[in-house]
Structure 1
Amino acid sequence: MSINTEALLTKFKADFLNDGRSESDAPEDVVFDPKAMDITATDDYRIIQEMREFYSREGRHNPYFLPRKGRISDRVSVQEREYISYSGYNYLGLSDDERVIHAAQKALDVYGTHAGAARMVGGEIALHQEMERTFADAFGFEECVASVGGYMVNVMTIGYLLGSGDVVFMDEYMHNSGMMGGVMAHARRVLFPHNDLAALERLLQQNRNRYSRAMILVEGAYSMDGDLADLPRLLDLKRKYRAWLMVDEAHSLGVVGATGRGVCEHWNVDPRDVDIIMGTLSKSFASCGGFIGGSREMIATMRHFAPGLLLYSTGLPPASTAAALEALRIMLQEPERVRKLQHNAHLFVQLARERGLEVGCSGASAVVPVMLGESSLALQLMSDLMESGIIAHAVMYPVVPRNKARLRFFLTARHTEAQFVHTLDLLQKLMQRYQAG
């Protein structure tokens, strides 16, 4: 499906240049309720209070928002204690690499601390263009454009490309940023069961022709379960039903594929066949930010007109740009980092299954969940592990479906087999103790 630049510009003017006016008034049956303004009466605040009470009652540290000292690696220092950490995205172990740090420091010396403006009007630096060209060449895009946050890149891309007359078909496990992009676009949002492409095709058959533009939205490697999208089949469906295919590769670039080039490399697919590929700089590339890869026409249009991507948004800081660029170069020069990470992922899954731990379909990426079911058990085990010097955070409803709480382990190229054995032996003993009552 080709880009209609005139239609996109018309949509942009309607959606974003209306001085905040809305086409519709509030529903007639809505009335002012003073209690609705009380944040302490919300379910969200109640959950926070329950968590605080749980950790206070148990006399344990709340494991959320703990300030770390020093650099992040396979081990971190928190509150004067050292922990094995499985809660960082430092997949290739580059965030404390001296070459990456030196590149960031050099950029600070040359460009200062920030871009200074939106890139279109004074905030562009040569390093931005060098980084984008290098990423595009490395991952097989015609062009790419980088911005200050991965979450925002998803939201703004989807929010810009789709409108109220359009539809987005997304995997039910799609990251929240994808969901919110659909909300921002006012597009019809159709969820299909996780990785069930037969169900997706039925939904496409039923709904596609009722809308102007259509997008199929998936993750390359899913951030909660660690399994992969079936890219060849998705490409067949996008061609058959005339839809854009957007793949969020936040957790697969630098991780999946023989040389870390993501799910396209894993499936031996030309990246140019995928309309939109999103990646982050905060996972494998030791920095912060996100980028979109695609055709020259797609990226040029978004570069000029997508609000919040470059337009109305300050450019990526020079130090972050330089760090990501150097991290990518190291990944390309040292492919053994990707191989070590993939070895660690397979090893962790193997060791977990040998101990009777349920890890689902993971093993193809650096995300491994240990499925527990009940949120209370996940909280308790997270706390027990932390007391024993291990950080692995619990993920619970509403982030994942009810009764599918889990501990989520982020693995890196820096982790060791000894750390895995120690961690999983302890987790096995703790679970056996709770199961015994």
Structure 2
Amino acid sequence: MNTVINSFSKNESEIHEFQQKRPKFIYAQCNTEESYERMPFYTTIMATLGFYFLIIIGLVNHLIFTPKVATEKNRDGYPPLYNKFESIFLRYVFRRVKDCFNRVVCGLPGGLIEIRDRVTHDNNWSFEVLDTTSKFLNLGSYNYLGFAQNTGLCFDDTVRAIKRYGWTIGSSRQELGTNPLHLELEKLTAEFLGVDDAIVFGMGFATNALNLPAIITPQCLVLSDEYNHASVILGIRLSGAISMVYKHNDVENLEELIRKNIVTGHPKTKKPWEKIFIITEGIFSMEGSIVKLPEIIAIKKKYKVYLYVDEAHSIGALGPNGGGVLDYYKCCPKDVDILMGTYTKSFGSAGGYIAGNKDLIDYLRKNSHASCYAMSMSPPVAQIIISSMSVIMGRRQCDEGQRRINHLASNVQYFRKKLKAMGCIVYGNDDSPVVPMLVYMISKVGATIREFNKYNIATVGVGFPATPLLQSRIRFCMSAALTKEQLDEVLEVTEKVVDKIGLRYSRKPRPTTHILYDDGI
């Protein structure tokens, strides 16, 4: 394995040559400052008391009353199938906001989204789906560049692909599941990222979960950011490697852990580590933060460790050319050993990729469970990615890709500044399309989403265990499919909701000047 994952040549002349070849576009300087305003003390107390109050009420209800639904039946003699505490949490905390989740979407996830109406007759234990639908402004989908649409170039290309190749292949890549579109997509992805080769998979989650065990062994050490996605955490667990978590985006803590473990070695064998990996994300999906990639690359080079970057949310949505976090910081792709990303966000499709040097990709083609056993990507899914990526790269429709990239960047910065001007606490980087607005109290998640729904605005509420216990939030996802007029409509409603629910937590001074919208074109 050590011969498979070889470090790239990292001499200064190679990096300089790469940067000189990059196309030049007008784009704001990358912003390394991130907002993580401290939670007010009073709010901390109230959020803590509110959570434990719900748990205590749940325990009392669990002991006294037996719910008519959501219970195991006809299983006499069997032990409970579910953990008791988790059952109480789901019944008496999650259920309080359950009417905001699991909605049936009946249309495109564009600027407007069509959602099936539903009603509950038993206080959110179950729902009856109605035949009627309602249209909402969509602030909850990962459709960053607006390619999830049923008209235009991507749609027309996909129709032709279906007529030629059908809907699915019905086999794994290593049997009879490789299609010419897979080969074309892998070549195009490698060119887009500026690396030797790439391999594509039919599922984004499985790209991490099933490829990390093929690369990492039990004799390895993995240093994982504390806010890495569940797919990364699962992949590390399946590998059997020793995993240590470093503080979110804290390069000093990361370097300290590397230095300490190089000295001590493997805790069981006391031998030197076979390999050491740093695993991080480009944009963190719950925090809206951007990885401090140049600093992590410097640490990687200093200690000769491997770097794995998950660009699920950043590829296509970040950087002047849509090239992700590497493009954002103008880093050389050959400074990252393994690039992972998904096609489920900016490309309006599904699946994921691993990209890097040719030896690594050839190894994964033969040894990855996702390549050997999982269903290969369907032809229409691959075609959508090829078409949308070609537009982003400027190979088709002239400047349409650049227009979408600029429009997304403008939407992101305008919306974030407006939220902060209202007095809301907004986490993350001002260039991140993931926009978390803190509500803190778990009870306020459901109340806030319901208020938005009254005005036909769809967004996402997030709480424990996806976030820390006292940091529940509303997560807005920006998209190039949203117009300035639609954003202004959302912001107008947000101000009403913020006043009604009480979400002006920020103590920072608010900007006194008018916030301008730059169309980015």
TM-score (norm 1): 0.88
Equivalent positions of 1:201-350 (< 5 A) are 201-208=255-262, 210=265, 211-307=273-369, 309-333=370-394, 334=400, 335-350=402-417
Structure 1 Cα separation of the partners of residues 201 and 406 of structure 2: 29
Instruction: For 1:134, give the aligned amino acid.
Output: L
Of 143, 149, 156 in structure 2, the residue corresponding to residue 90 of structure 1 is 143
Match of 1:125 in 2: 179
Shift of 1:193: 0.8
Structure of greater Rg:
2
| Distance verdict in 2 for CA 1:429–1:259, change over 3 Å | same
Structure 2 Cα separation of the partners of residues 318 and 77 of structure 1: 27
Structure 1 Cα separation of the partners of residues 348 and 428 of structure 2: 27
Q: Is 1:67 aligned with 2:128?
A: no
Structure 2 Cα separation of the partners of residues 168 and 107 of structure 1: 41
- When the two chains are superposed, the root-mean-square deviation of aligned CA atoms in Å is 2.1
Equivalent positions of 1:406-421 (< 5 A) are 406-421=473-488
TM-score (norm 2): 0.74
Q: Is 1:54 aligned with 2:101?
A: no
Match of 1:58 in 2: none
Match of 2:449 in 1: 382
Structure 2 Cα separation of the partners of residues 36 and 254 of structure 1: 50
Task: String of CA shifts for 1:224-252, please: whole Å, max 9, x gaps.
Answer: 12221111111111122222101111111
Instruction: For 1:65, give the aligned amino acid.
Output: N
Instruction: For 2:284, give the aligned amino acid.
Output: Y
Match of 1:19 in 2: none
Q: Which 4+ stretches in 1 moved above 6 angstroms?
A: none
User: Does the CA contact (< 8 Å) of 1:349 and 1:363 recur in 2?
Assistant: yes
User: Does the CA contact (< 8 Å) of 1:253 and 1:284 recur in 2?
Assistant: yes
User: Does the CA contact (< 8 Å) of 2:447 and 2:501 recur in 1?
Assistant: no
Return the structure number with greater helix share.
1
Instruction: For 2:215, give the aligned amino acid.
Output: L
Task: String of CA shifts for 1:172-226, please: whole Å, max 9, x gaps.
Answer: 1111111111111111111111110000000111113512111101111111122
User: Does the CA contact (< 8 Å) of 1:3 and 1:298 recur in 2?
Assistant: no
Shift of 1:362: 2.8
Number of residue pairs matched by the alignment: 403
SS at match of 1:430: helix
SS at match of 1:370: strand
Shift of 1:435: 3.2
User: Does the CA contact (< 8 Å) of 2:107 and 2:115 recur in 1?
Assistant: no
Structure 1: segments with no counterpart, 5+ residues: 6-33, 56-60
Structure 1 Cα separation of the partners of residues 460 and 169 of structure 2: 34
Give percent identity, aligned residues only. Answer: 26
Match of 2:218 in 1: 164
